[in-house]
Amino acid sequence: MKWSLVMNLKVLLKALLLIVVLARPLSAQVEHEVFRLGMIGLDTSHVIAFTQIINNPKNNYGCKVVVGFPGGSPDMPTSADRVDKFTSQRHDKFGVEIVETIEQLCERVDGVLLESVDGRPHLKQVRPVIAAKKPVFIDKPVAASLADVIEIFRLAQENNVPCWSSSAFRYGQRIVGIQDNSDIGKVKSCDVFGSSSWTEHHPDLYLYGIHAVTALFAVMGKGCRPDT
């Protein structure tokens, strides 16, 4: 299971980095040999896993995580209890520069990975990123309310800034390509299941439940309609 998840993460990273790198301006391609990435929100294990994969020269992604903004939510234990640990690991182990503001981060990078485990600050955190015209990947949850989700993508579209979010599980080996699998035939319905956890401030399936939801959309396509 652990190996499978790592492979899913690598496929996810290839997809998001392709989008982010292709979105960079020509000036960035000329000025920097390596596409510089910044991470906002150093309170999730994803920041360590992603940095290990991206900064590994064997993967040859042409990108490198170079700077981070800790963030953190004092009233959310899963954030407050981990932000110092993951911040120090990124600085000591990977040599990532730690800055005090998102604006400082944006000045040093070509693209951004918004990783804050708490979805509530995502809208506030992504505003300066969009203002700086930096392509951005937002890790789950996109936000902690539908209104914030809509506003994030409205701002991105209005400012012509590439903005994307996804779970790694949609790239599972048994999910990718299932619609074109001749051995299965046309997929007319699909049941998915997965673990979920509930936490204050995040309704419904916004947090870990999104993994199963995104797998369902990967198989059935986008959009929802009533069962008739």
Task: Enumerate residues 6+ apart whose C-beta is below 8 A from 107.
Answer: 132
Q: Is the pLDDT of residue 21 over 80?
A: no
What pLDDT is attached to residue 4?
45
pLDDT band at 128 (very low <50, low <70, confident <90, very high): very high
Least confident stretch, 43-47, 97-101, 218-222:
218-222
**Rg of the chain (C-alpha set):** 18
Ordered structural domains, the chain, with CATH: 2-164 (3.40.50.720)
Task: Enumerate residues 6+ apart whose C-beta is below 8 A from 174.
Answer: none
Q: Is the pLDDT of residue 70 over 60?
A: yes
At which residue do the structure tokens 């990783």 appear? 115
Q: Is the pLDDT of residue 35 over 80?
A: yes
pLDDT digit string, tens, across residues 137-194: 998 888 888 899 999 999 999 999 999 887 777 777 677 777 677 777 777 777 777 6
Kind and range of the H or E element at 18? helix 2-22
111: helix, coil or strand? strand
Give Cα separations from 1 to 52, 167, 190 (angstroms). 19, 16, 22
Rounded distance between C-alpha atoms, residue 30 and residue 69, angstroms: 26
Residue (of 166, 117, 171) closest to 144 by Cα position: 117
pLDDT digit string, tens, across residues 200-214: 676 666 666 667 777
